Amino acid sequence: MNTVNLIGNLATEVELREVGEEKKVASFLLAVDRGGREGADFVWISAWDRQGELCAEYVTKGNRVAVEGRLKSRTWEQDGKRRDAVEVVARRVEFLSTPSREAGAEVIPFEAAAAG
């Protein structure tokens, strides 16, 4: 299985939704800098279950994260046209930005979250 590693900033807020009875998935758009003046590439990321819950709780638009995962391609039809998309299904998301600490907010280090 091929592994993809990306570092970037969230271009959207994290959307957490339930799929099935006990499954959750978080989705967000990651802006990955191309370097120099070339702009950025935007990649959809999906993080499942506990990893997704942690993303929804601790990262917001603009935060920097590192993502390790695998590529997944999807095809569907919309308005009579074929649509294709490639996303990264995260195996690991590491929070690189300093978390905003609201009153009483608990910060869970990545290593502890991955073990839970």
Quote the Cα angle for 107-27-90, to 5°: 75
* Burial annotation 24-58 (CB, 10 A radius, 16+ → b, else e): bbbbbbbbeeeeeeeeeeebbbbbeeebbbbbbbb
Q: What is the pLDDT of residue 97?
A: 82
Q: What is the pLDDT of residue 116?
A: 45
Residue 33's contacts (CB-CB under 8 Å, 6 or more residues apart) are 8, 39, 40
Rg (CA), the chain: 15
Tell me the one-letter amino acid at 60.
Answer: T
pLDDT digits (tens, 9 = 90+) for 17-49: 999 888 999 999 999 998 878 889 999 999 999
| Spatial distance between the Cα atoms of 50 and 72, rounded to a whole number of angstroms | 20
Q: Where are the domains of the chain?
A: 4-115
What residues does 26 pair with on adjacent strands?
16, 47
Q: What is the pTM of this model?
A: 0.78
What's the CATH number for 4-115?
2.40.50.140
